[in-house]
Amino acid sequence: MSNHFKQLQQEINRVERSIQLDSQKKRKERTKRLIQKGALLENYFECEHLSVEETEELLKMFSSYVNANKTIKFK
């Protein structure tokens, strides 16, 4: 009985570790994507000198136009 309990506990630990690793992987992927998109934003809008709040204001100015004129490919 004790051996069976240990096996179950090991399986639970393995599954929990797998979930943690998956979560870490997703966070790293999201972080990488956000960094890449931020770099593109700074490159194309030349806004590296703007604060976060100013960048948001700039994006708000153009968001309705961009969203209304996106091609089907980007919707």
Residue 45: pLDDT above 90?
A: yes
pLDDT band at 65 (very low <50, low <70, confident <90, very high): very high
49: Cα within 13 Å, side-chain hemisphere:
1
Give the pLDDT confidence of 3-12 residue by residue, as tens digits. Answer: 999 999 999 9
Domain positions in the chain: 2-74
Mean pLDDT of 23-33: 98
3-state secondary structure (DSSP) of residue 32: helix
Mean pLDDT of 32-48: 96
Residue 1: pLDDT above 70?
A: no
**Per-residue pLDDT, 71:** 92
**Per-residue pLDDT, 30:** 98
